[in-house]
């Protein structure tokens, strides 16, 4: 089954404790992206990647890092999480950046 | 820059009522337009899309027409069901960019 898999689905952590949210797709898609969803703000893009070793900032990249060492994986790294990063995070992929996006189920992160 | 504006919710309707969710956009060139739907506890999934002016996207009884003259892509359904209760996002993918822009989402609640 074609899918985007994110882990963990739920996480509660404390300020400053580094964490990684993994994202993997099995569709051989070139394009992958991370979004955060906050009430009243819709989805905002954090980072995206057009291919292996090619990443670029979205609208809200501060406090986040990404890497794309393999085509299928695109982890989101919070080096020093803060409470304002409490949010619902989605990973998505598509054949290229202009095509239909396939989303993961989401990862709800709470930073205390 | 590109932007998407959609009507604020929540929208509450009775079963079998007519639905319209307004969406307007600002973009240079000829973007592709999308409606995504998010059911409770799930990621977003594509509902319908249109890639050029006057195209009509349709799926599951929902329709939207790409109107370049009014820069709009309004979502309509003739008779909503309880199972249509979800959050609906209008989005665009700009020409020559790899960036999706999402609206803030409109929550629809359908009462039996």
CA distance A100 to A67: 22
Q: Are A103 and B44 in contact (CB under 8 A)?
A: yes
- Which residues of chain A make contact with B105, given a CB cutoff of 8 A? 42-43
Closest Cα in chain B, distance from residue A51 (Å): 12
pLDDT surpasses 70 at B97: no
CA distance B98 to A96: 8
pLDDT surpasses 70 at B98: no
Residue where the block lists tokens 């999706």? B100
- Which residues of chain B make contact with A106, given a CB cutoff of 8 A? 42-43
3-state secondary structure of A100: coil
What pLDDT is recorded for position B9?
85
- Which residues of chain A make contact with B57, given a CB cutoff of 8 A? none
Task: Give the residues across from B23 on adjacent strands.
Answer: B6
pLDDT surpasses 90 at B80: yes
3-state secondary structure of B77: strand
Please tell me if residue A45 touches chain B, with a CB cutoff of 8 Å: yes
> What is the average pLDDT score of chain A?
94
Selected for mutation to probe chain A from B41, B93, B98, B99 (highest A CB count within 10 Å) is: B98
Task: Give the residues across from A65 on adjacent strands.
Answer: A77
CA distance B49 to A100: 8
> How confident is the model over B90-108, as a mean pLDDT?
84
């Amino acid at each position: 089954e074609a899918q985007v898999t994110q882990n963990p689905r739920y996480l509660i952590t404390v300020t400053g404790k580094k964490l990684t949210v993994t994202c993997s797709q099995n569709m051989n898609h070139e394009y992958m992206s991370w979004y955060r969803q906050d009430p009243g703000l819709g989805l905002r893009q954090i980072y995206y990647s057009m291919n292996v070793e090619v990443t670029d900032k979205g609208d809200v990249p501060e406090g986040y890092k990404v890497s794309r060492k393999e085509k299928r994986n695109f982890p989101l790294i919070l080096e020093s999480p803060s409470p304002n990063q409490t949010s619902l995070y989605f990973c998505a992929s598509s054949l290229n950046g202009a095509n239909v996006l396939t989303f993961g189920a989401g990862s709800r992160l709470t930073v205390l | 820059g590109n932007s998407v504006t959609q009507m604020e919710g929540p929208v509450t309707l009775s079963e079998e009522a007519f639905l319209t969710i307004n969406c307007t956009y600002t973009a240079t060139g000829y973007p592709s337009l999308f409606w995504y739907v998010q059911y409770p506890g799930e990621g977003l999934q594509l509902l319908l899309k249109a890639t050029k002016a006057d195209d009509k996207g349709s799926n599951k009884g929902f329709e939207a027409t790409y109107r370049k003259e009014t820069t709009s892509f309004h979502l309509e359904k003739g008779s909503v069901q309880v199972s249509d209760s979800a959050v609906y996002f209008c989005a665009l993918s700009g020409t020559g960019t790899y960036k999706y822009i999402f609206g803030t989402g409109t929550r629809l609640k359908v009462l039996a």
